[in-house]
Structure formats: C-alpha cells, structure tokens
Amino acid sequence: MGSSLSLAGGVGATVESVEITDGTIVNADVNASAAIENSKLEALTASEVVISNGSGEIISGAVATYPSLTELAYGKGVTSALQTQMDAKLATTAYDDATAAETDTGTATAKYVSPDSLAGSNIGTKTVQMVVVDFTTATATGDGKFYFHVPASLAGMNIVTVHAEVITAGTTNTTNIQLHNLTATADILSTVITIDSGETGSDTAAAAAVIDAAQDDLTANDVIRVDVDAVSSTPANGLIVTIECQLP
C-alpha cells in the first residue's frame, strides 16, 4: 500500500485539504477565495511562454521556436480568425497584370504593371527621328541619304513602327523609302515606306510599309542607312523618317 499524506486547514484557511498518495495529488479542496501571491518553477525562463512538453512537463517555450510575449501581444484585440481576415483581404486586392494598352491609357486603377507590359507600352517605346532631306530641299533618289548609329540603349529592341513625312507634298507617283541595315547587309522593310501623290505622310499611303520580322532586331553599333528608292514626278520638299523601337 502506498503512503499517503493529508493536510487540512492550511495557512489562512486558503487550502482546506490536500491528499498526496505515492507522490501524486489525488484530492485537493482549495478555498474559492484563495490567492497564490507568488509562484516560481525553477525550470522556467523569464518572459517566455509556458508550454507542456511531450512528457507533460511544464517548460518554457524558447523564442527561437515559439512566439515571444511581444509577438503574442500582437494578437490583442483580434475579433475573428486571422486567416479568414487575410484570405478576405487577399481576395479583394488581387490585382491583374495591366496590358500594354492599359498602361498607355493610364485608366486602370486596380492593376499592377509587369516588366513585360511596361516594355510593350508607350513608356517602353524609344523613338528615333531623322531629318533625311532639308525642309526646303527637293527629295531625290539614292542610297545613303542618312545614316543612323544604333546606341547601346537600343540594343535588343525591335523596330516596331516606321513613318515618313515630307514638308511639301510631291505630285504624280510616290516617294519610296527603304531602311537598310548596313552592318547586317539586309533591307529592314519587306514593303517600303511610300508617300502617295499629293500627300505629306506615309500614314495615309495606299500601301502600308511592312517591317521584315527577320530583320527588325537592333544590335549595338549597327548602322542603319536610309535609301530613297523613288520620288514623285514633281518631287516633295524635305523628308523626315521616324522609327519606333520596343523590347520584344
């Protein structure tokens, strides 16, 4: 039979009785108004949360693994499950990638801009404009009317649009312009830029210019040559050629 110990009364009548059998408290009657003024377990570390280990022993939860008292205090005032709140917040702020067109107009508000859509937008477009023929000078045919050196900032970009403009319109027949990559020894346009009779810009031409997809790449230090392949019977005056470039 195991030994037993019973205590009755206690200090200040706060503990009515305690029965210990074989080192285990099997019965205790504690006064409801009892207050423990001071208690310290030597195995605990100050300012760490108390947990029970795999053996059911009360120990301190090391802050390297368990929340600190400060971290636990962050949850004060929470009125519902944090995961539910975060899921709801995430659902209401899930932004889509803005398209290049949306980036151009700047009208979408609940969007993010990825590097790809930025590069394909007007913001990612770089423009080169060349005065090929002086504004009061008549256009004339010939290769190498202007040369453009490709800087490193345009390397890796593609030519995406081309345009030609004269100051005074020519009449009868068209003014035709080709772009030639002198470094790669290849024409860039599969259909040349044309300015129709009586018109000043290629944007209204009956035959739109077509950029050869195999020759639209720009490499640092390429030299682009502007060739005038044909002029109107009454030549136009002046010639400005504009190209726009974007990352692919």
Q: What is the pLDDT of residues 212-231, one digit of tens each?
A: 999 999 999 999 999 999 99
Q: How many residues does the chain have?
A: 248
How far apart, in Å, are the Cα atoms of 232 and each of 54, 162, 193? 95, 20, 13
The per-residue DSSP string of 87-113 comes to HHHHHHT-PEEPPHHHHHHT--SSEE-
Among residues 222, 224, 228, the alpha carbon closest in space to that of 240 is found at 228
pLDDT more than 90, % of the chain: 49
Question: 21 or 119, which is more confident?
Answer: 119
Q: Does residue 10 surpass a pLDDT of 50?
A: no
Residue 139 CB: number of other CB atoms within 10 A? 24
Q: Of the ranges 36-40, 151-155, 184-188, which one carries the lowest mean pLDDT score? A: 36-40
The domain segmentation of the chain, as residue ranges, is 4-72, 89-124, 126-246
Among residues 232, 216, 235, the alpha carbon closest in space to that of 224 is found at 216
Class of domain 126-246: mainly beta
Classify residue 29 as left (phi > 0), alpha (psi -120 to 50) or beta.
beta
Q: Does residue 104 surpass a pLDDT of 80?
A: no
Q: What is the mean pLDDT of residues 34-38?
A: 55
Dihedral sign for Cα atoms in the order 96, 98, 102, 105 = positive
Apex CA 80: angle with CA 74 and CA 82, to 5°?
55
Return the exposure string of 175-206: e unless at least 16 CB atoms fall within 10 Å of the residue's CB, then b. bbbbbbbeeeeeebbeebbbbbeebbebeebe
- Say what the pTM is: 0.60
Q: Which amino acid is at 174?
A: T
Q: What is the pLDDT of residue 119?
A: 80
